[in-house]
Structure 1
Amino acid sequence: MELDGTIALITGSTSGIGRATAELMAAAGARVIITGRDLERGKAAARAISGTGADARFIAADLTDPESLRGLAGDAGEVDILVNNAAFLPTGLTTVQDMKSFDIALATNIRAPYFLTAALVPAMIAKGRGSIVNIGTMGARIGMPGVSAYSATKSALEALTRTWAAEFGPAGVRVNAVAPGPTRTEMVLASIGEETADRMDAGGPLDRLAAPADIAEVIVFLASDRARHINGTTIAVDGGRTAVYRNQSGNQLSSRST
């Protein structure tokens, strides 16, 4: 299996994209470390993965708390793969965005991956190998009303991806990002609701929301040696939403000769 002998830490991995990633990495032979704030859900996720014969453990952590973040880095120890997936998605127009939610988004989406990476990457550098995958968003590429704080923090994470690729790449540590489009996860559904999610199903060229596993497959690829020459890039996994223009009726415009 392609991830045999590796240890992978996936933040925000008790559900959604993070859990799907942990499951796929475990199936590929990695020893996975699941993190999240919910103790019971985290333990259940680790038991489920361990029940398949894979190696999984759970570390409870609140990434908005610097002390908890330091504890996570210490408890995890040396890892070969780090997936910065945990995120907070506040919704609301800029004029009504509350400061508390804004600060939580900054702490979860930027500060936590920044300092977790800073704590764990020295061991990767010492070994001369490692892979870091940051989870961004389609909203970092196109303007979307109501998600200004989320999009801004994820844009910053994409910028860090390029900077870290430049800083760590010469030592053999690759850093890349995945930018999902709308994905049917608990966080998304809690933020936008089922009705809006159903409407978004028909909003892209593929006419469906992504499943968490759709995103996880690309994350696992970037973490593996199959992507050994990919560094500093962001891969859009949005069903073509940021690449294909659709008119108001939802149809793609046909090509026309002039």
Structure 2
Amino acid sequence: MTKSLKDQTVLVTGAGRGLGAAIATAFAREGAQVVINYRKSKASAEALAHALGDRAIAVQADVLEAQAVASMIETATERMGPITTVVHNALADYSFNGDARHTLDRIPAADLVAQHATAVLGALNVFQATIPAMEAEGFGRIVTIGTNLFQNPVVPYHDYTSAKAALLALTRTSAAELGPKGITVNMVSGGLLRTTDASAGTPDAVFDLIADNTPLRSVTTPEEAADAVLFFASPWARAVTGQNLIVDGGLVYG
């Protein structure tokens, strides 16, 4: 079974700003109903929902709290109908500034726990709250957001990168389990995006260096990464699951 994008109801976690907001905007552009999840970015999330029109709503929930996620899904379902599509984009607070990173000899264990909690346990909470409706429908699309750093760890963001690698493992094990139910699970892995709140701390020289080493001679934008997410939700990807698509202008292969 397939559904066109305009017939889908899409939950995007961490959609109040940055890449999540770009993903929500892309789905709305294609006519989908969009649920904009946020944790703290109430003003920007509600402004985005207003801008996207009456087919978008903003709902607060911390993905770390299973009951809050369940309540969010209940609210969204009452307003928009069953969730057919999930994009797990939520990110624990982070700044992509290589000069300020914690190196392996001094990174606190708590930093890894925080990143893994949001990336992996947050995904689990969202999956568990949304899969029953997808299973009942015989259709579902789940897209997780990864990173090209586990192919090319040029900056040792140990906490962030290891969390996203674990999320890729969960993506693939979920794809294997959910495939017979008509649910696909894939990952989109961007590189450094120009520019989000998280990448605002990145020096311009780093952006320029990446652009110079990319076949497209540019740094990927949130809007460009968002379009790749749409592919996995679209009918054109109906036979694709368990995959990790790197979207960084060709910087990293594999």
TM range (shorter): 0.7 to 0.9
Q: Aligned-residue CA RMSD in angstroms?
A: 2.0
Post-superposition Cα deviations, 1:195-254, rounded to whole Å, max 9, x if no partner, equal 43343332322222101111111101110111111111111111111129xxxxxxxxxx
Q: Distance in 1 between matches of 2:66 and 2:194?
A: 30
Taking every aligned residue pair, what percent have the same amino acid on both sides?
31
2:24 counterpart residue number: 22
Structure 2 gap ranges (5+): 96-100
Structure 1 gap ranges (5+): 245-258
Alignment partner of 1:63 is 2:63? yes
Deviation at 1:45, TM superposition (A): 0.8
Q: Distance in 2 between matches of 1:43 and 1:160?
A: 31
Q: Distance in 2 between matches of 1:25 and 1:110?
A: 24
Instruction: Choose from 208, 212, 220 the match for 2:230.
Output: 220
Residues 193/67 of structure 1: CA separation in 2 closer, same or farther (3 Å cut)? farther
Instruction: Choose from 82, 86, 89 the match for 1:82.
Output: 86
Post-superposition Cα deviations, 1:118-146, rounded to whole Å, max 9, x if no partner, equal 22111101110010001111012222333
2:50 counterpart residue number: 47
Alignment partner of 1:159 is 2:169? yes
Instruction: Choose from 182, 185, 188 the match for 2:195.
Output: 185
Q: Distance in 2 between matches of 1:240 and 1:188?
A: 22
Deviation at 1:191, TM superposition (A): 4.4
Residues 203/98 of structure 1: CA separation in 2 closer, same or farther (3 Å cut)? farther
Residues 110/203 of structure 1: CA separation in 2 closer, same or farther (3 Å cut)? same
Which secondary structure state, in structure 1, belongs to the residue aligned with residue 169 of structure 2? helix
Q: Of the two structures, which has the highest relative contact order with CA contacts closer than 8 Å and spacing of 6 or more?
A: 2
TM-score normalized by the length of structure 1: 0.86
Structure 1 segments (4+ residues) deviating >4 Å: none
2:107 counterpart residue number: 97
Contact kept, 8 Å, 1:63 with 1:107, in 2: the verdict is: no
2:154 counterpart residue number: 144
Post-superposition Cα deviations, 1:2-30, rounded to whole Å, max 9, x if no partner, equal 32222100011122221111111111111
TM-score normalized by the length of structure 2: 0.87
